[in-house]
Chains A and B, each alone.
Chain A
Amino acid sequence: MITVVDYGSGNLRSIQKSIIRFYPNVMISKDPELIEQAKAIILPGVGAFGDAIKDIQQNGLYEVLIEKIGRVPTMGICLGMQLLFSYSQESSGIRGLGIIPGKVLNIKNEISSSIKVPHMGWNRLIPISEPYFYGYAYFNHSYYCRPENRSLVICQVNHGMTIPVIILKDKILGVQFHPEKSKRAGDTLIQYFVSLIEK
């Protein structure tokens, strides 16, 4: 069973449905006990860093997520990827899950003002190490993840700077774009995630 963690963010059915095409058992849940039993976890996210962490705490999910992420294959999507870090410039007083060392930073502070932020729309993936993901993917974000260990970054994009967009650490995948909206590039990523479960 893949469990999509429901802590009150966007439409999780679209994520669920896009994964079901490659893996039959996908559940949406906010029950810590069910999440505890999951074979794999999807951490979605739409919105702001601070609010998401508060929602996770209010739903009593903070501990179970820290316990579970990395022990089973986990995919953090968009804000869900950023939540894997401890610090975000978006909500500097609030501590994230702190599973991957590094920071979440505002793109705007790092690039020329002629490049527009939020980073919104379809950007061309630049794979840097295996497994390779390529083609166009759909983005919609203003902050980006910078892991301390750069070798975790397996894919990036150019948008006034190089933005890490897929990180892979053992069984943990973080993806800045929306695989459920990214057509072929999204499908190959989901298939790869499913292969982590079957390993």
Chain B
Amino acid sequence: MKKIIPAIDLFDGQVVRLYQGDFNKLSIYSKTPSSLLHYFSKEGFDRMHIINLNGAYSGEFERGPNYAIICSLIEESKKWGVNIQLGGGLRTEKIIKKLLDKGLFKAIIGTLAIQNQKLLQKLLKRYKDDIIIALDVQNNIVSTQGWKKGFQIELNPLFKQFESQGALEFIITDISRDGTLTGPNFEIYKDLSKIKYKNTKLIAAGGISNLEDIKNCLKYTDGVIIGKALYENKVNIANLTKLKLKYDPTNLARRIIPCLDVKDGRVVKGIQFNNLKDSGDPVALAQFYNQEGADELVFLDISANLEDRGSIIPIIKKVAEEIYIPLTVGGGIRSISEIRRIIKAGAEKVSINTSAVKNPKLIRESAQKFGSQSIVVAIDVKREGNLWEVYIKSGTESTGLDGIAWAKKVVNYGAGELLVTSMDRDGTQGGYDLDLIKELYKAVSVPIIASGGAGTHKHFYEAINAGAEAVLAASLFHKRMLSIQDLKVYLSKKGIKIRI
């Protein structure tokens, strides 16, 4: 995924563009900044670059008419599901924290990074994932302060220095090109792409005049900011939208899914919530996770007597009717009539495990009857070298089936999603089995829910990068070792699409 990021520069409350950073050469494009946020959002863009030009000039972010407008833009961005990167006169920790608390996605710092090393280090320590360092460059020399005062620092060593201090994301603008529509300075980006760390994100800005410029920049960078060319119709918005779809094809958010074991209508196993009166009540827990921002829930019915699903059906109904969180129900499902009861009760999906192996026809028939999107096949595997063997009956019986081949087969039968648990990793909190996820991602066309091994924020990030559409965990969430909200913010700042 690479980002095309429309720019909105604010001066005295209006949207403007400067020519080479010169305040005397300014064009006004709009008097209502929020209408531009809506406009770009309607074209499918989900990240915007906003600069407070008055702030950049004066060094006082909150002075003047821009500040109130910026606050309302941040509010709007949350409603529309858009991320804002914001800069221009962010010089103190206080203002950066204030804006982040309001829901700002990333704070862009330029002058501060160069002039105040102590504060920079503090910021990178506390807000590493929230900070973008912007460097304005002319002939490989970095300049600052609203482009007015000159400094003589070379770009590449400074870039490496910031990187080693923990900076994760950079915007590099060639100011001799900015606003000139003469094409960007590709050499800078090419050079930086060679010396940067693998995970460092590089965004190009300045001089973009057509779609070819964007494509050429994105050969070396993770994103490109486009301003003037868009406002002056050098780039047609419909064509830009098409290009966005190519580099950033889906806005589908990755899902975080807590899994609950339910026995005879009660949640069992290690639920430790102090603030819940009855931590065994599945409906109360569903409500809790719904409020915390879980995207779906999985109920695993482990009741001894599953004949009529007597205990879980009323719970599914209650969750569907009162909490509205999408629900997948699994555990010992053997027949179409069981699936029908569960779906009619209000579950979005059912998950089949042992029966899928014993009776693969069940997958095909249920997918035909209820649609593939309702049928999840759960696969439990144990690693043998670079192969994974499928186990059934809650991991107690080996099948001799190869996990990857089995995954392909069940998708052919009609499974709409795979819930894959690494038994080796389950309960270890040492991270998901990334090789497994990568192999599955290549092998099948349906979404994969990764399960088994989550212990830290980073583990979720790795699983998603390996190709998991959704990530599942149980005791990690139940024991409050990490909160879903915090996890979602973390992933979002890492550039993962997340519903917050």
Q: A and B, one complex?
A: yes
Interface residues of A, Cβ cutoff 8 Å to B: 9-11, 13-14, 17-18, 46-48, 51, 79, 90, 108, 111-128, 132, 134-136, 138-142, 157-162, 178, 180-181, 183-184
Query: Cβ of B445 < 8 Å from any Cβ of A?
Result: yes
Residues of B within 8 A of A118 (CB): 372-373, 416-417, 446-447
| B445 adjacent to A142 (CB under 8 Å) | no
| B325 adjacent to A181 (CB under 8 Å) | yes
| B343 adjacent to A10 (CB under 8 Å) | yes
Residues of B within 8 A of A161 (CB): 245
Other A-B pairs, 19, CB within 8 Å; known A46-B371, A48-B369, A134-B79: A10-B344, A17-B322, A46-B343, A51-B369, A79-B371, A116-B446, A118-B416, A119-B252, A121-B254, A123-B250, A123-B251, A123-B252, A135-B80, A140-B374, A141-B373, A158-B44, A180-B324, A181-B348, A184-B79
Question: Which 10 residue pairs of A and B lie closest in terms of their CB atoms, listed nearest first?
Answer: A11-B346, A118-B373, A124-B251, A124-B81, A122-B499, A14-B320, A136-B499, A122-B253, A116-B447, A159-B250
In whole Å, how far is B324's beta carbon from the nearest beta carbon of chain A? 5
- CB contacts under 8 Å to A, within B256-311, are 295-296
Q: Complex: how many Å from CA A51 to CA B390? A: 33
Q: Complex: how many Å from CA A116 to CA B244? A: 18
Query: Cβ of B370 < 8 Å from any Cβ of A?
Result: yes
Which of B41, B371, B470 meets A48, CB within 8 Å? B371
| B371 adjacent to A11 (CB under 8 Å) | no
Closest to B81 in A: A124
Which of B80, B326, B346, B349 meets A138, CB within 8 Å? B326
In whole Å, how far is B160's beta carbon from the nearest beta carbon of chain A? 33
Residues of A within 8 A of B136 (CB): none
Query: Cβ of B368 < 8 Å from any Cβ of A?
Result: yes
Q: Complex: how many Å from CA A178 to CA B326? A: 10
Interface residues of B, Cβ cutoff 8 Å to A: 38, 41-44, 46, 79-81, 244-245, 248-255, 295-296, 317, 320-322, 324-326, 343-346, 348-349, 368-374, 416-417, 445-448, 469-470, 497, 499
Which of B317, B325, B499 meets A11, CB within 8 Å? B317
Residues of A within 8 A of B369 (CB): 47-48, 51
Residues of A within 8 A of B320 (CB): 11, 13-14
Q: Complex: how many Å from CA A180 to CA B254? A: 20
Residues of B within 8 A of A14 (CB): 320-321, 324, 346
Residues of B within 8 A of A46 (CB): 343, 370-371, 374
Q: Complex: how many Å from CA A121 to CA B338? A: 24
In whole Å, how far is A102's beta carbon from the nearest beta carbon of chain B? 20
Residues of B within 8 A of A114 (CB): 249
| B249 adjacent to A120 (CB under 8 Å) | no
| B469 adjacent to A120 (CB under 8 Å) | yes
Q: Complex: how many Å from CA A180 to CA B251? A: 21
Q: Complex: how many Å from CA A114 to CA B253? A: 15
Q: Complex: how many Å from CA A123 to CA B416? A: 18
Q: Complex: how many Å from CA A132 to CA B497? A: 22
| B447 adjacent to A120 (CB under 8 Å) | yes
Q: Complex: how many Å from CA A102 to CA B348? A: 27
| A142 adjacent to B81 (CB under 8 Å) | no
| B326 adjacent to A134 (CB under 8 Å) | no
Closest to B246 in A: A112
| A134 adjacent to B446 (CB under 8 Å) | no
Among A11, A17, A112, A184, max chain B CB count under 10 A is at A11
Residues of B within 8 A of A138 (CB): 326
| A113 adjacent to B321 (CB under 8 Å) | no
Residues of B within 8 A of A111 (CB): 249
Closest to B245 in A: A158
Q: Complex: how many Å from CA A18 to CA B448? A: 30
Q: Complex: how many Å from CA A125 to CA B321? A: 24
Which of B80, B249, B252 meets A122, CB within 8 Å? B252
Residues of A within 8 A of B245 (CB): 158, 160-162
In whole Å, how far is B308's beta carbon from the nearest beta carbon of chain A? 18
Question: Given A14-B324, A121-B470, A135–B371 Cβ distance below 8 Å?
Answer: no
In whole Å, how far is A83's beta carbon from the nearest beta carbon of chain B? 13
